[in-house]
Amino acid sequence: MASTFTFQQAPQASASAGKAGYRDPFAGKKSTGNIMHDKRVVRGNTHRATVLTQSAQAELVRAQKEVDTQKKVATQKAAKQQQAVETVKRSTTPDPIEGRKHMDIQTERYLEDLKDKPDEVTQETQTDPMLDRPPTPTYVPFKIGRDAETQIQDGDLFDFDTEVDPILDVLVGKTLEQAMLEAMQEAEVEDMRQQQMKFEQRRKEEVLESQRLEDAERRKFEEKERRKKQEMARIRREKETREKLRARMFAKSFLTNLENRVFGRLEDEGWFHDSVEREVELEFFPWLLDQTDKELDKNRKARQMVDDLIRAAVTSQ
């Protein structure tokens, strides 16, 4: 049964006449005349006051902090974007020429003194102390109707000896069923553990086998690479040996009759000559040719003189 709520403290008049003793949260709001728009009216179950738990209050505070943080971040982003836009606008202005500089000027009709920090003036005022309005008590409806009671004698509603048997049967049955379920669950857990152990053992064996196969494959690959390198080295040595052998045979065949061929070629070119033959070719033959030319020239002149005499004799006759 809900107890009747009573407010113990009687209302008192404010110390200052004509002024309210508390701050009215609904002051200045237009009244609609509908009681359902009044926040002081409790909605829902009136037998139990709605009380927020500490976790709900913490959740509300956290949500409010998140909203404030998001607003702050949005404000900072907007400021950065505005600053970037201004920077881009400023960057479009070309650099000043030598001897001049850029400066901000006012183009308005009335000039205004621009300052980084506006002037601040401290003003004070004295007001009467205001009391906080006391919290509105929870609405508890008044008791209505009449109380009624009924006398129940022992054995009227429940006979322990008669009613305890099915209860015991249910308890014993549920206990046995639960025990069997737990036993089956333990057996199943044990089977799962055994299967897991077997699986882990098989997995370890597979891992070891895969490692052994990988090691064997790696050894085969290394052996193959080593054999390839050895074969390449052998082929290179054989090639070098063949080239050396060819060079040696060519040099041997080239040097076999080199001396005779060199001397023969030098002799053909005239580096080796007979002194008599050279004297005959270089001195006697040129002298002989000169003498022959002289003799032939004398004979030609004598023949020409004879021809002239004969012609003169013939002409004179």
Segment 86-122, tens digit of pLDDT: 776 655 667 778 888 877 777 777 777 777 777 788 8
Residue 47 has what pLDDT? 58
The tokens describing 18, both together, are 């004509």
17 pLDDT band, cuts 50/70/90, is very low
**Domain-located, residue 279:** no
Residue 199 has what pLDDT? 93
Range of the domain at 58: 52-89
The tokens describing 233, both together, are 């080295």
Among 237, 255, 273, give the residue marking a domain's end: 255
Residue 2 has what pLDDT? 47
Among 255, 276, 299, give the residue marking a domain's end: 255
Phi, psi at residue 131, to the nearest 5°? Answer: -90, 140
Total domains, the chain = 2
**Domain-located, residue 95:** no
| Coil vs helix vs strand at 19 | coil
**Domain-located, residue 174:** yes
**Domain-located, residue 203:** yes
Question: How many other C-beta atoms lie within 10 A of the C-beta of residue 21?
Answer: 14
Average pLDDT, integer, range 123-130:
77
**Domain-located, residue 73:** yes
Q: Which of residues 272 and 194 earns the better pLDDT score?
A: 194
Residue 32 has what pLDDT? 58
**Domain-located, residue 135:** no
Which range, of 10-19, 176-185, 272-281, 292-301, averages the lowest pLDDT?
Answer: 10-19
Question: How many other C-beta atoms lie within 10 A of the C-beta of residue 2?
Answer: 11
Tell whether the model's pLDDT for residue 43 goes beyond 70: no
Average pLDDT, integer, range 156-184:
86
Residue 5 has what pLDDT? 53
Question: Model confidence over 203-228: pLDDT tens digits?
Answer: 999 999 999 999 999 999 999 999 99
Tell whether the model's pLDDT for residue 176 goes beyond 90: yes
Q: Which of residues 52 and 280 earns the better pLDDT score?
A: 280
Residue 100 has what pLDDT? 82
Among 255, 279, 300, give the residue marking a domain's end: 255
Identify whether the C-beta of residue 129 lies closer than 8 Å to the C-beta of residue 23.
Answer: no
Tell whether the model's pLDDT for residue 152 goes beyond 50: yes
**Domain-located, residue 97:** no
Contacts of 96 (CB under 8 A, 6+ apart): 102
Tell whether the model's pLDDT for residue 127 goes beyond 50: yes
Mean pLDDT of the chain: 79
Average pLDDT, integer, range 236-250:
92
**Domain-located, residue 198:** yes
The tokens describing 78, both together, are 């907007």
Residue 9 has what pLDDT? 60
C-alpha separations of 3 from 135, 140, 145, 146 in Å: 20, 8, 14, 14
Distance CA 27, CA 43 (A): 22
